[in-house]
Structures are given as structure tokens and as C-alpha cells.
Chains A and B, each alone.
Chain A
């Protein structure tokens, strides 16, 4: 009986340890993490990406709905194929990267949480901040927790990985980026795709 109780206690403790919330750091040493953006205007399509991703997310595999975190993208890391276009984009009339060096999303609530295996999908409501303007938006996200896979990605490190994928659309006019101007060349709608992985070393 004592032995059975001890085993039960051990299983419970192990379960608690595995279900404990983990903090994942999204600064990627491999430089894969990126946020893509696309503006499809009638006269011109603009495609770019940003690599300066950072931030932390606290994820509990036992309770994915309680996930909290903030992802930051350095405005200066936004890239375009044309250097003059990039210069204009980062300039004071458009994103004003000097004055507003960060674009961020901070989660508040998770809804419609569905978990299958190591993958969770949810609708995350949070605060999106761009050019100093903060707005509450809801973003569909897909989280994949890869247990003990950190070592496969970063040599000599043990731990877990959390992969986040999200696609959503914002309107630049809502964030005071030349509202109502040049919409034939620079679309008001900006499609954003987030593909990032965070590490939680043990």
C-alpha cells in the first residue's frame, strides 16, 4: 500500500512538473524568426519581412488557454527589396522608426482554445502597438510545443521549443500611417504573417 501511494505521489509530482508554465524566449540565435508583411495595392504590391523578433511567452502545456506573452519586432529590421522604398517606409512620414523603434503585440485573453497532440489553436486578443498607436485586435494563432527539441536546434542546450504561427490583417490608417493617402500604391490593408520559435532551456 505504501509503495502504491509513493508511486501515485511520484506520478502526481511529475505531472505537476510537466504541466508547470514555461517561459519561452523568442530571441532566435539562428535568425529564422520573422514577421512577413504584404501590401497589395492596385498599382503596386509590396512584400517585405522583419527579422528583429524578441519577447517572451509563458506557456503551460497543461493549460494553453492561460498563455501570456509579448512579442516585439524592431521597426529598423523591416526589409524591402528596394532600398529607397525601405528608406521611405522607415522615414518620419510612414513608420518613423527613430521615434517608434518597436512594433509589439501583447496577449490578454485566449479564446476558442483547441489542443490536439502538441498543437494548440486559439483566437488571441491583445494589444497591437504600431507607430505609438495601440489597438486591441484578435489574432488566430497556432502554437506547437516541441518537447526536448531545443538541443536539435541549438547545440549543447537542453530544453523545449514553442513554435508560433499567426496570420492577420491590420489597416495602416488605424495606426496613423498616412491615413487615406497613396492607397493606390500603398494598400491600407497590411497582411502580417508571424513565424517564430521560442526556446525554454532546462
Chain B
């Protein structure tokens, strides 16, 4: 149980960092929409259309770090798995 909790914490932290980095390592807040520039051929004006897209930010990393910390913290208080009792046999 102790090991499982620590493994989940490590996977959560590592996975979150990889996901954050792969999504562009956004150092701002998490975005759920991004601006897409579109150019009007007649006027030459640049318009902006908003597209739904999840871009994790530093708050996402913070939550992941907190979650991993909580799991690791809980694992400290989980008792070690006790050794099975040995039965001594008489010769």
C-alpha cells in the first residue's frame, strides 16, 4: 500500500510535467481556449477566432504537485506490511 501510493504520486507528478511540457510549457495560467488569427482576403484585416483547446499552465502543475505531495504524505502514515508469522517446528 505504501509503495503503491508513492508510485501513484510519482506517476502523477511525472505525467503532469510531461503533459505540461508537451502542451507548450505555458508559464501563464491554464487556458481553455486559444486565439486563432484569420486574415480577410479583401480587406487584409486580421480577425481573431477563439478555438476551444486545453493548454495547461503553472496552476495545473501546482495542483499536480499538491496532489502528489498529499499522496506521498499519506504514504508515510501507512504502516509497513507486517511479516507473516513463522511457525517453529520441533525436531
Contact = CB atoms under 8 A, between A and B. Distances in A.
B40 interface: yes
A33 interface: yes
B48 A49 contact: yes
Interface string A134-155: 0000000000101001001100
Contacts of A51: 47-48
A28 to B, nearest CB: 9
Contact of A161 (B32, B43, B47): B43
Interface of A: 30-34, 36, 44-45, 47, 49, 51, 79, 81-85, 144, 146, 149, 152-153, 161, 163, 165, 195-197
Interface in B16-61: 28-35, 38, 40, 42-50, 55, 57
B34 A149 contact: no
Contact of A44 (B28, B34, B47, B48): B28
Contacts of B49: 31
Nearest to A28: B47
Contacts of B34: 81
B32 A81 contact: yes
Given A31-B49, A81-B31, 19 more contacts: A32-B43, A32-B47, A45-B28, A47-B35, A79-B33, A81-B32, A81-B33, A81-B34, A81-B35, A82-B28, A83-B32, A144-B43, A152-B42, A153-B43, A163-B43, A195-B46, A195-B47, A196-B45, A197-B40
Contact of A30 (B28, B33, B40): B40
Nearest to A79: B50
Interface size class of B (residues with CB under 8 A): 20 to 34
Nearest to A154: B42
Nearest to A149: B42
A32 to B, nearest CB: 4
Contacts of A44: 28
Contacts of B48: 34, 36, 49, 51
Contact of B55 (A32, A47, A81, A197): A81
Contacts of A31: 47, 49
Nearest to A32: B47
B45 A197 contact: yes
A88 B43 CA distance: 34
A32 B45 contact: yes
Contact of B31 (A34, A82, A146, A165): A82
9 contacts: A32-B47, A44-B28, A45-B28, A82-B29, A82-B30, A82-B57, A152-B42, A195-B47, A196-B45
A153 B47 CA distance: 14
